[in-house]
């Protein structure tokens, strides 16, 4: 399963404004169980969501995604 790539939308999830409003983590949007990436695992981008090419890799404990590059929003039918 390592090395598989996909295009997915990453959605920024922030701490509450009273707690500083910084990015807490990113949710990988798509079908199936949700995946999450830490703020240090995603390159900076403007806005609350953006599209990225991801590669499946083995993490310290389980399989996770590595961000390869930011891409344009794909045509309809990809999530």
For residue 76, pLDDT over 90 is answered with no
**Confidence at residue 78, expressed as pLDDT on a 0 to 100 scale:** 52
Q: Contact at 8 Å (CB) between 7 and 74?
A: yes
Host domain of residue 64: 5-71
Among 24, 1, 9, 2, which Cα is nearest to 78's? 9
Q: Global pTM?
A: 0.83
- In Å, the largest CA–CA distance within the chain is 41
CATH value at residue 66: 2.40.50
Examine residue 10 and state whether it is found in any structural domain, yes or no. Answer: yes
Output the pLDDT for position 25: 96
Task: Express each pLDDT in 9-67 by its tens digit.
Answer: 999 999 988 888 899 999 999 888 889 999 999 999 999 999 999 999 987 888 899 99
**pLDDT at residue 77, as a whole number:** 56
79: in domain: no
């Amino acid at each position: 399963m390592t090395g598989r790539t996909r295009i997915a939308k990453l959605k920024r999830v922030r701490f509450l404004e009273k707690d500083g409003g910084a990015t807490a983590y990113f949710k990988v949007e798509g079908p199936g169980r949700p995946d999450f990436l830490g703020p240090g695992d995603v390159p900076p981008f403007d806005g609350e969501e953006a599209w990225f090419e991801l590669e499946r890799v083995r993490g310290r404990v389980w399989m996770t995604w590595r961000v390869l590059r930011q891409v344009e929003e794909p045509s309809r039918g990809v999530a």
